[in-house]
Structure 1
């Protein structure tokens, strides 16, 4: 058990690497190790984490095994370890495992995980992922219990139908998860390079021409791989989603693939795979028929992952394309939607493979990852832990706690990350980049529409061309905004002053218009569609954003003076500058103005802002 727990990459899919740099024995028979560990970032909106730690392992007199680990820092008199590009140094406070033997066999396992993941370095909307002990338990502690559960099943000799297939599933799942995390992070030491963009797009593109990345250890650079002229392009995007659980969204994407997937692009990916160096020569591959290697649909032991073979549809394709994609399928892994899923994270990942493929052939997975950032899982996380603990008693029948149903009802904010990978020929890099950018952008737009449909009743995020029509409060506020603008500045805010269409005109105004309360805490209470796009948020999540978090440092310092001028004069002009979206992205604007919005009693209701000619910097 101690060996399994100490081998984090074995059971923690978020662990990129764990290197033992040095090891020596102590006088009492214990062992001290110097470790370096890297943890993937779950989204594109934050950097990955790394740790330098010391780990002490010892056997106590009663036969118990204790494993203690903590970060090695300069404050303890030790050396200050150098920083690593693309990583933020995190801190592990005293953590570890106590494994006590039980009379009659078995063990009692105590696990302590205590980390400081430097939440101040991530956008505010993501900080719950880096501050919550509940999230830490879900992503690390329970993963350790799952790893032990798998070992306990093997040691007990309990047989499971299709155990050979289950073993293959676990191996493929690990490789798919790792490759997908690599695509989300795109580390430079793996050969990834960010393509030059204008900085205004929500979709980022990276390319990789590294031989080791393309073909793994099967080939060496001496074989002239770069001259083959192939590379990998990754298009990815992240977005904030309100009021839909990860489980529900991923389940919808899986069941409605034909509504968002472009079969032509699927065929293109399959065809390029077949003609690229990824196609291992049969003499080098230990090939299995897809139907023999694993069933077309299957679950792992605890039903936490669903495996599927998705057949590519080639309707309307040219004969040459149909021939190239023949015998190609998509290997698909879906996690986080089973009855034991806690709803904190769900993922749908797929990769094109040949029906004859080796167990070590490179995989290029694409897909979706949805992570809840403030889900209400504290109430049942303990039930999930107890359920896992009880299930470790091999042979004990227990009805699993159905958390998935509760997860679908949660009112939460989630972050969706989309990452699609494509093989390209060197001469076609720009064409593939354009295609990939448009494809991910269209998928992103589809998800936005799906979120509206899946939002719980009464909590619709109200995105669209005219979502607020019929809401009395919104109609009243739009009237106050336009009337106050005319009163203070002497001009009409809207070209058409018709009362009936005022709200729709305000909503569809090309400039970003938003309102915030003016006391005691300045939080946003309304924004039109352009304002929501600029802040990268929704009406439901708008009230979580304060004016202070949006303004740049200079205007933040002078905020009191601006507000005072607005209150006394009724309006204020702001010169060009930069503000921040809720995702932490800088937004530049040519000019802006603010004015006092008064109600029917001539009392101050809020402050309105209008940002003109804005763009992501």
Structure 2
């Protein structure tokens, strides 16, 4: 295959020149697809959440296909390069016949044709140092407000739906709600609906309008071997008919192995692509292109800032806590947690506390462990891998979650009544119940233990919670 390597940034050319990399990517994708189908057939007891009906499978393929074609930007697929604004960090292309290549059909139920059937793509690439792709992707998925512009999301949604009607963007934005659709049995890929509440007002309507995004996420599992991790999304209508246009945007994060650059084996390449429909109504193609360039540049700055915070070498708000190797601060905290548990409950937290690194044992423990501060409104400061999985968050974003947020009403009442016991007696035990992840998903646990963590001076440093035998409901 001629993948036109001359047309992509130099650092990307090995990915477009190598038939081995192409073969690996397509073969692994095909094998995962076949494995998913075989397990669905051979395991009839698998719940619907672990199945992907043909309709959802077709949607994921449409998302991936549109995103791949936009990132590649091949001339024989209808893409042509627009003139640069003098700064070469963002490439802007336009496709005047997306119906033929991307399967995009701009027709509307109200009978009004769209002003144009062209699709504009703005894309950029960047090198990020020492950032695990799965952790970066998880942060981008869970914390959209850290990098996305709500006004652009609203404009994109109006462009693919409203035709001659336009959406008036409001600055009183609501929250983000993730509605799961399905995932593959082995969790290497999943689909969901992102509901952005109260994003704007449509002309002639007084009620605020919600915006919906169809999202495909792959590569979140750090243990899955693959060539890239992707977060792809497209605005959709709430009714979402089968022939609705899908205009995808997103990120592709590609680990560059040591064979490409032996001097920096841990570099991660991030590809961002933003797609807009245009021109529409009172906007010219130049205005849309300028807006797209500015938006992608703002995303680049945001992702670079996030990547710096997520880097294990960054000594920011969570110094020394980055697992699994950690620093002296991390090992000290792990030791305090175990010693305080043994002090207050009279037994060891781990049977093999002395045989290996305590931090490593704590980090890989199956029960969810998390520490919270002793402030008036306690917030989480550290969690092991199970704790992060249970809360569906990262170490950086963990510190934005308050203790009371993860409990339901009954849990909060129990916590308020029993919390003084932790400070007086040193520990408390909670019966099984339900708590909530940062994404709003219900988590059940068999029982929970909380204890006061003492430092070297035997002063209270934090409170540690352990949720035993937890699972998503």
TM-score between both structures, scaled by the size of structure 2: 0.54
Asked if 1:161 is matched to 2:47, the reply is yes
The partner residue of 2:91 within 196, 199, 204 is: 204
Please name the residue that 2:224 is paired with.
341
Please name the residue that 2:347 is paired with.
none
Offset, 1:211: 5.7
Please name the residue that 1:308 is paired with.
192
Show CA shifts across 1:386-444 (max 9, x none): xxxxxxxxxxxxxxxxxxxxxxxx96112111101011235521211111110100100
SS of the aligned residue for 1:150 comes to: helix
Offset, 1:358: 2.0
Asked if 1:432 is matched to 2:319, the reply is no
Instruction: Supply the distance in 2 between the matched residues of 1:321 and 1:369 (Cα, whole angstroms).
Output: 39
Please name the residue that 2:240 is paired with.
357
Where do 5+ consecutive residues of structure 2 fail to align?
166-176, 317-473
CA contact (8 A) 1:332 1:349 kept: yes
The partner residue of 2:266 within 409, 412, 418 is: 412
SS of the aligned residue for 2:225 comes to: coil
Instruction: Supply the distance in 1 between the matched residues of 2:95 and 2:208 (Cα, whole angstroms).
Output: 24
Question: Which of 1 and 2 has greater Rg?
Answer: 1
**Which is worse superposed, 197-206 or 164-173?**
164-173
| 1:246–1:361 Cα change, 3 Å | same
Please name the residue that 2:121 is paired with.
234
Offset, 1:332: 1.1
| 1:250–1:277 Cα change, 3 Å | farther
SS of the aligned residue for 2:272 comes to: strand
Offset, 1:124: 5.5
Please name the residue that 1:148 is paired with.
34
Offset, 1:228: 3.8
Offset, 1:273: 1.6
CA contact (8 A) 2:63 2:232 kept: yes
**How many correspondences in the alignment?**
297
TM-score between both structures, scaled by the size of structure 1: 0.42
Please name the residue that 1:487 is paired with.
none
Instruction: Supply the distance in 2 between the matched residues of 1:125 and 1:364 (Cα, whole angstroms).
Output: 24
CA contact (8 A) 1:303 1:340 kept: no
Offset, 1:304: 1.0
Instruction: Supply the distance in 2 between the matched residues of 1:249 and 1:163 (Cα, whole angstroms).
Output: 25
Offset, 1:249: 1.2
CA contact (8 A) 1:207 1:234 kept: yes
Please name the residue that 1:422 is paired with.
276
| 1:259–1:217 Cα change, 3 Å | closer
Asked if 1:260 is matched to 2:147, the reply is yes
The partner residue of 2:213 within 330, 348, 356 is: 330
SS of the aligned residue for 2:203 comes to: helix
Instruction: Supply the distance in 2 between the matched residues of 1:459 and 1:126 (Cα, whole angstroms).
Output: 34
| 1:191–1:263 Cα change, 3 Å | same
| 1:299–1:163 Cα change, 3 Å | closer
Offset, 1:126: 4.9
Offset, 1:357: 1.4
CA contact (8 A) 2:91 2:124 kept: yes
SS of the aligned residue for 1:196 comes to: coil
> What RMSD in Å do the two structures reach over aligned CA positions?
4.1
Please name the residue that 1:271 is paired with.
158
Instruction: Supply the distance in 2 between the matched residues of 1:125 and 1:193 (Cα, whole angstroms).
Output: 20
Asked if 1:127 is matched to 2:127, the reply is no
| 1:441–1:213 Cα change, 3 Å | farther
The partner residue of 2:133 within 240, 246, 249 is: 246
Where do 5+ consecutive residues of structure 1 fail to align?
1-48, 51-86, 89-117, 279-290, 377-409, 461-617
Instruction: Supply the distance in 2 between the matched residues of 1:189 and 1:226 (Cα, whole angstroms).
Output: 26
| 1:147–1:273 Cα change, 3 Å | closer
Instruction: Supply the distance in 1 between the matched residues of 2:296 and 2:157 (Cα, whole angstroms).
Output: 18
Offset, 1:374: 1.4
Instruction: Supply the distance in 1 between the matched residues of 2:221 and 2:129 (Cα, whole angstroms).
Output: 22
**Which is worse superposed, 422-431 or 266-275?**
422-431
| 1:268–1:209 Cα change, 3 Å | same
Show CA shifts across 1:200-236 (max 9, x none): 320111112216259948689xxx9998434211111
Alignment map for 1:6-405 (pairs within 5 Å): 49-50=1-2, 87-88=3-4, 123=10, 126-127=13-14, 138-156=24-42, 158-162=44-48, 166-167=52-53, 168-210=55-97, 212-213=99-100, 216=103, 228-276=115-163, 296-314=180-198, 317-318=200-201, 320=203, 326=209, 328-338=211-221, 340-342=223-225, 344-374=227-257
Instruction: Supply the distance in 1 between the matched residues of 2:154 and 2:294 (Cα, whole angstroms).
Output: 17
SS of the aligned residue for 2:246 comes to: coil
**Which is worse superposed, 425-434 or 351-360?**
425-434
CA contact (8 A) 2:36 2:184 kept: no
